[in-house]
């Protein structure tokens, strides 16, 4: 069974540009989560999508946005890039929602560097 796949692996952009990151969840998983992991720091929750709808959002500005497609894949868009957006962006998927035993399965991440 294929795991959570993310692309691209690495992305280099300059300030003010837009970045698009993509995620394919585990087959059968309907929920997709995005996290930001800045260098040396922890996991900051960005967005949660389920059944094509944005269900929850972390404490990030509106220039962080995304969507989930009918096949449950997702993309994360970051507009007007700033230097501090440089980070590892992790996508995770899960099957069950609200069961109390919800396991997140993470992808390997996309490393975004803003110059």
- Interface with another protein (CB under 8 A): 4, 31, 33, 41-43, 45, 48, 55-56, 90, 92, 94, 97-109
Residues 46, 56 contacting (CB under 8 angstroms):
no
CB-nearer residue toward another protein: 80 or 108: 108
Minimum Å gap between C-beta 100 and another protein is 4
Q: How far apart are CA 101 and CA 94, in angstroms?
A: 10
Q: How far apart are CA 7 and CA 21, in angstroms?
A: 6
Is omega for the bond preceding 20 within 30 degrees of 0, making it cis?
no
CB-nearer residue toward another protein: 19 or 90: 90
Order of strands, edge to edge, in the sheet holding 64-68?
5-7, 19-24, 74-78, 64-68
Minimum Å gap between C-beta 80 and another protein is 26
| H or E element that contains 41 | none
CB-nearer residue toward another protein: 14 or 102: 102
Minimum Å gap between C-beta 36 and another protein is 12
Minimum Å gap between C-beta 15 and another protein is 25
CB-nearer residue toward another protein: 60 or 80: 60
């Amino acid at each position: 069974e294929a795991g959570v796949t993310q692309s691209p692996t690495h992305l280099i952009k300059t300030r003010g540009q837009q970045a698009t990151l993509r995620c394919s969840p585990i087959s059968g998983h309907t929920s997709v989560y995005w996290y930001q992991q800045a260098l040396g720091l922890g996991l900051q929750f960005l967005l949660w999508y389920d059944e094509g709808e944005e269900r929850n959002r972390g404490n990030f500005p509106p220039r962080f946005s995304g969507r989930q497609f009918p096949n449950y894949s997702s993309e994360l868009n970051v507009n007007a890039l700033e230097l501090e957006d440089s980070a590892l962006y992790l996508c995770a998927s899960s099957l069950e929602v609200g069961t109390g035993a919800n396991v997140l399965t993470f992808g390997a991440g996309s490393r975004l560097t803003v110059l």
